Amino acid sequence: MTKDDIIILPHPSLRKRSTRIHVITDETRKLIDEMKSATLDWEASRPHEVAVALAAVQINRLERVVIVRADFDNKENRKFVTLINPEIVKGEGELTIIQPEGCLSVRDLYGAVPRYPKIRVRAIDEDGHEVRIKAEGFLSMLLQHEIDHTNGICFVDHIRDQQDAFYTLTAKGDLEPVTYDFVESTGIFRD
């Protein structure tokens, strides 16, 4: 798969809940490999960004699978951790904006989304073993973002009707504010 297989808003699948995986099959493993290929191909086309995660729904597969980059700071490390049926067990602290979020399915927009600074997540890996994660900061934000995808929620849904909460990336890799009216005109919000 390539970056062109990543669906973008307002694609209707991005607003649907994904189904749980009950048995990990060769088809599940193939899906994970396709997700990695699409993510890395997207990253190759973006000089100022690292593709840090993807949910299966983003390649139009409504299954509760998420991949997360093993190392966010090193583009050369192309390894991912797979989380199947991930769920947030607990959110800790007051909702706060950790940093503006981007999304491979929301083209060229970033948003200031309030997230829990710490969370606990439960999932299974691709071998069927239970995984428990205590995450904080950027990883906490990232996992909340991806688990939202499995529930049919995109980051823009958390900041609807808020002024001064959206940004775009300049050619130099800097975030620049965009107006709410502009974002609304793109058709990415729920009806």
Active-site amino acid positions: 146
Q: How far is CA 27 from CA 58, 151, 152, 156, 165, in A?
A: 17, 21, 22, 31, 39
Residues in the chain: 191
CA atoms within 13 A on the CB side of 130: 4
CA atoms within 13 A on the CB side of 42: 27
Quote the tokens at residue 185: 């005109």
| DSSP-based helix, strand, coil % in the chain, nearest 5 | 30, 30, 40
φ/ψ of 74, rounded to 5, equals -125, 105
